[in-house]
Structure formats: C-alpha cells, structure tokens
Chain A
Amino acid sequence: SYVLTQPPSVSVAPGKTARITCGGNNIGSKSVHWYQQKPGQAPVLVIYYDTDRPSGIPERFSGSNSGSTATLTISRVEAGDEADYYCQVWDNIGDHWVFGGGTKLTVL
C-alpha cells in the first residue's frame, strides 16, 4: 500500500520559515492535502490540491509538490502555528485515503 513519510518534528524560530516534507513514491503525480491539528482539536485543512489555500488560511501557508516530495511551507512563523501537520493523498490503487505520520512543528 502507498506510504507517506513525514519527519516526526521540525523546529523553527519565530519569524523564520518552516518547511515540512511529505515523501511518497512519485507523489508529484498525486494531489496532496495538508491539515493542521492543535492539541485537543479536530484537524483543519490548510492546503489542498498541492497549492490551494482555503479561505481563512493565512497567505503565509503555501504548498508545492514534485517528484517524490510534497512540501508545506509556513513563512514568518508565529507561535500560534505550533501544531501537528499531516499530509494526505488518495491512493487510487488501493482505493483508500492515506495520511502521513504527522510532523510536530515547534516554535522556539
């Protein structure tokens, strides 16, 4: 089955740029969605179809996807961005959704 690999943790200083990767076999040929989850809360969609932002999500959040890696980029990181982030794709071979293992973003 299709596997998505994320780094368990990423740390960044306030005001800097955080990049969270999501690796998968030829993931560039798939559409990737990204979710933010804060402790005790339900996930929130932050990027969909690789690069699109839902209304209400700051422009500081952006996405890219090519080759074997998709990336969520958070510019000018704020303390409020501290959360777990998950990537997601539809595996059309197995007919199921796949989530990455999640990345904990720590703002130093």
Chain B
Amino acid sequence: EVQLVESGGGLVQPGGSLRLSCAASGFTFSTYWMSWVRQAPGKGLEWVANLKQDGSEKYYVDSVKGRFTISRDNAKNSLYLQLNSLRVEDTAVYYCAREGSRSGDPFDYWGQGTLVTVSS
C-alpha cells in the first residue's frame, strides 16, 4: 500500500524556518517525481515545488523561489521541503504528492498534510 506521511509542521514566527519531511512507503520511491502542494485555510490548492527522481531537476512556484528548497533522500525514501524567510501568507497545509515517472504525470497519491502556521 502506497503511503505518504508528512511531518515537521508547526507554529513559527515571520522570518523563521521549518523543515518539512515526507516519508514514503509501499512503492519504489526513487523512480517517481515528487511534489509539494499547499492549501491556505479556506483556499484552493497551490503547487509549491517538484523534484525529479535523481534530484537533477527541480521547479518552484515564483512566490517561494529563493526561500524554499526541495530535496530528497532516495536511500531513506524521504522528501523534504526547507522553508526559510517564512511569511504570514505561507500559512497553509502542506501536502506531499507522488507524481509519475514522467514529467507531467498526475499526482496519484497524496499524504494527509502537515499544517504550517506563520504568526507572531
């Protein structure tokens, strides 16, 4: 059974940092693109970043470029998102999602999300 379990969310002050983790199981993690998607309270889905199987390609939404860093450890079946210089508007539930083996494949599995709250 495919499982994605996020962790690392919490309350942080503006300007602070957090590191989110996504533990994957039930599939060969190293053969899939992976993404982070967020959802602000009461709002729609916003894609944040994705990462190719070997880490050689990564893409970000403009609003997080230079502040967030996506990475992965295929030996540990884990995906990460380093969040720096956090802003109030980064408050959201952050989901880890599995893409396919090809760029452009849909997100066929999602975690349950971890809540990040940026507030003073």
**Contact surface of A with B, Cβ cutoff 8 Å:** 1, 31, 33, 35, 37, 42-45, 48-49, 54, 84, 86, 88, 90, 92, 95-102
Contact = CB atoms under 8 A, between A and B. Distances in A.
Interface stretch (B7-15, B45-53, B66-74, B76-84): B45-53
A108 B115 CA distance: 32
B50 A97 contact: yes
Contacts of B50: 97
Contacts of A96: 47, 59-62
B110 A43 contact: yes
A77 B97 CA distance: 28
A100 B44 CA distance: 8
Given A33-B107, A43-B110, A95-B59, 20 more contacts: A42-B110, A42-B111, A42-B112, A43-B95, A45-B106, A48-B106, A48-B108, A49-B106, A88-B47, A88-B106, A90-B103, A90-B104, A96-B59, A96-B60, A97-B35, A98-B47, A99-B37, A99-B45, A99-B46, A102-B44
A43 to B, nearest CB: 6
Contact of B45 (A31, A48, A92, A102): A102
A37 to B, nearest CB: 8
Contacts of A100: 44
19 contacts: A31-B104, A33-B106, A44-B110, A45-B108, A48-B105, A48-B106, A49-B106, A86-B44, A88-B106, A88-B107, A92-B104, A96-B59, A97-B35, A97-B47, A97-B50, A98-B47, A99-B45, A102-B44, A102-B45
B44 A99 contact: yes
Interface string B84-105: 0000000000010000000111
Contact of A1 (B37, B59, B62, B113): B62
A24 to B, nearest CB: 15
